Amino acid sequence: MNLSSLSHELNISINELRTKANAAGFRISPRANKIDNYLAKQIAEALKPKPKVDPNAPKPEAKKVSLPAFIKVRDFADLLELPVTNVIKALIQNGVMATINEEVDFETATIIAQDLGFEVATEQTGEAKEFGIGFLQEELLNESTENPAAMQTRPPIVAVMGHVDHGKTTLLDAIRKASVVDTESGGITQHIGAYQVKHDGKVITFLDTPGHEAFVEMRARGANVTDMIILVVAADDSVRPQTIEVINRAKFTNTPLIVAINKIDKENANVMKTKQELAEHGVLLEDWGGKVIAVEISAKNNVGIDKLLEMVLLQAEVEDYKANPEGKVLGTVIESHVAQGKGAVATVIVQNGTLKVGDIVVAGTGYGRVKSLEDEHGKKLKFVAPSRPALISGFSDLPEAGDILQTIENLDEARTMATNAQKMKHSRKLTHRSSLQGDSESKTLNLILKADVAGSLEAIKQSLAKLKNDEVQINILSEGIGEVNENDVLLADSSRGTVIAFHTKTNPKAINLAKQKKVAIESYDVIYELLENITSAVIAMFTPEMEKAVFGKGTVLAIFRTEKSQMIVGGRVDDGEIRKNKPVAIWRKLSEEEMAAVAANKVEGEEDAPETGIKNYKEIGRGEIVDLQQSKVDTKEVARGNEFGMKIKTNVKMQEGDLVESFEETLKQKTL
């Protein structure tokens, strides 16, 4: 074809044609006037103006599905009319490890259905709601806006936090001894995770959580029962990593801080240095022109405790914490355990309303009628008002620290809510929760590394090199020494990467920016923890494979009953064993013609393909054994040589002579 004809056809000049065709990857020699017809056709195809897509044109309809609150993976696949393996793969690609029989919650199922091209009806069918911190805050806000006149001042709820060994426990003991409420009650002080003290006639509630971990876990779940934090900093040790963690968390949750500079009795105490370091970390104390109150104390020698309590009350007066004692009962679980003779008990701080003995409550997976209420002295209470901690007995199951407690009208409803929480918890457990996630589509994990010194950086890089593999690429986009700054966050944002901070801080602007851009900054102090998390992020990106483990097989000798989607059959186990509640593959003998066709397809001299099925049989479908009997007795498995009767859920119409192969399919996740 002449180039001029083609240029005419495309309505462009010959020069333009040459340039555009070359740019599109075709080779036209600069001297050529004619080109091959086939090439001309391809060039024309590539350079023709594309028909514009009309944005208003109707899009192909996405299939609509309605999802229940929870759904078994198998039923989910049925609902979507997709092979279950596709659904499981999609789940895993989203970081959810679930097997066929496990349930996923509405949120998870929605994401997966959308990924698979479905449109999900917004309303879930059935009841399930997570009563998390968002719910609590919303309810508390409703209480205050709906009935402002009923709101009454309540005691402040205070948590004591700080670096290990800086004196938190000693301080909590000193406060408890100094001014316990109700000492005349004569009860023995029991540890219930919180206590109240009275100072100048006013009450303060202190959280007295034993393990720091438990408290961190609770905060990780977002529970925020505290109005105020006392940050204990030892004057002989100054600001340490956990001090910084508390400062950051207080900022993040907008919780006011009061600093207790402890151990001032020690010879090497350096109050000035401590204050200066606090200022460097953004805590501006009053005598440095800021607003944060600091009190110098010696928890061990009982010095400054009164002053500290005074300051707590002063701060509380400014903030004026309120609740409606007549309103809806809402609270947060602080601790729980199984107590001898009492069953599951939990300490709850009531945040609104008044909890009474006999109320029906639900908290996480636990529900029940309140059997007894006790304070920290073991004294029985009839009711518990806002800000008061109490040990509650009467739960069906242990609630967890951080669970929200509420009262419910009837026991059935409470039970349903607790059961849903149980399922939700299970489903949540399945979800890979580290914020360190790579891009599973491009299978890359983009990292921005920041460390304290060059040596750490080197050590991290060397360890990361060991994670090299064929499937997932770990890219270190930038590395540097010093604190995490805004540039690091911006780079992470544009590359969908994660900032890794090792032994180093993040400056406050970068923290804010990261929050805004939803960029993950992961801080580590221990290399192996860093590696562990990166390793699991890499593993989560591997595409898993289904692996079939065969337990055994048997021959169907009699058909007893055929229904629409299930059959009752009898037979004998030929190999291994057959197990109840496991899937079965149903195999049928090939007909003469089919066998002849197989033989005819075989290429002379070529080796047989490795055996993947049962020789001379073909798989005609699958099912699941829902009932299994041996000698008319229910059993979980029947071994080789024995006869069985079984009920199979299947759509296949089985016949005598078919084989049933009992197996289990597990997803095999590649590891490093």
Give the distance between the most distant pair of CA atoms in the chain.
110
Sign of CA dihedral 654, 658, 663, 666: negative
Q: Which is nearer to ligand GDP, 312 or 530 (CB)?
A: 312
- Number of C-beta neighbours around residue 146 at 10 A: 11
Nearest C-alpha neighbor of 522 from the set 540, 504, 539: 504
Count CB neighbours of 468 within 10 A.
Answer: 11
Contact predicate 24/43, CB 8 Å: yes
Q: Which is nearer to ligand GDP, 209 or 437 (CB)?
A: 209
- Using the rule CB under 6 A, is 307 a contact of ligand GDP? no
Say whether residue 164 binds ligand GDP (CB under 6 A).
Answer: yes
Rg (CA), the chain: 34
Residue range at the interface with ligand GDP (CB under 6 A); choices 41-49, 161-169, 437-445, 618-626: 161-169
How far apart, in whole angstroms, are the C-alpha atoms of residue 523 and residue 510?
Answer: 13
Size of the site for ligand GDP (CB under 6 A): 15
Q: 648 and 581 in contact (C-beta within 8 Å)?
A: no
Residues 280 and 283: their CA atoms lie apart, in Å, by: 7
Q: Give the span between the Cα atoms of 173 and 195, in whole angstroms.
A: 11
What is the nearest approach in angstroms of ligand GDP to the Cβ of residue 240? 11
Q: In the set 18, 89, 154, 168, which binds ligand GDP (CB under 6 A)?
A: 168
Question: Judged by CB under 6 A, does residue 450 bind ligand GDP?
Answer: no
How long is the chain? 672
Q: What's the 3-state SS for 416-484?
A: HHHHHHHHHHHHHHHECCCCCCCECCCCEEEEEEEECCHHHHHHHHHHHHCCCCCCCEEEEEEEEECCE
Using CB under 6 A, which of 165, 413, 575, 664 touches ligand GDP? 165
Query: Can you read off the two tokens belonging to residue 457?
Result: 């950086």
User: Among 46-54, 145-153, 167-175, 332-340, which window interacts with ligand GDP (CB under 6 A)?
Assistant: 167-175
Minimum distance of ligand GDP from residue 269's CB (angstroms): 8
Per-residue contact flags (x/-) with ligand GDP for residues 251 to 290, judged by CB under 6 A: -----------xx-xx------------------------
Asked if 166 is part of the footprint of ligand GDP (rule: CB under 6 A), the reply reads: yes
* Residue 344 token pair: 């599951």
Alpha carbons 643 and 589: distance in angstroms, whole number: 21
Beta-sheet pairing, 366-369 with 383-384:
unpaired
Query: Binding segment for ligand GDP among 14-22, 79-87, 162-170, 316-324 (CB under 6 A)?
Result: 162-170
Shortest Å, Cβ 298 to ligand GDP? 4
Q: Which is nearer to ligand GDP, 170 or 506 (CB)?
A: 170
Q: Which is nearer to ligand GDP, 167 or 552 (CB)?
A: 167
Q: Which stretch binds ligand GDP (CB under 6 A): 188-196, 286-294, 296-304, 465-473?
A: 296-304
Least separation, in Å, of the C-beta of 172 and ligand GDP?
8
Q: At closest approach, how far in Å is the CB of 130 from ligand GDP? A: 33
Instruction: Show the binding pattern over residues 169-208: x = contacts ligand GDP (CB under 6 A), - = does not.
Output: xx--------------------------------------
Closest distance of CB 243 from ligand GDP, Å: 11
- Quick check: 360 and 409 in contact, CB under 8 A? yes
Contact with ligand GDP (CB under 6 A): which of 221, 300, 342, 369?
Answer: 300
**Residue nearer to ligand GDP on the CB measure, 230 or 667:** 230
Structure tokens at 580: 């109840």
Residues engaged in binding ligand GDP (CB under 6 A): 162, 164-170, 262-263, 265-266, 298-300
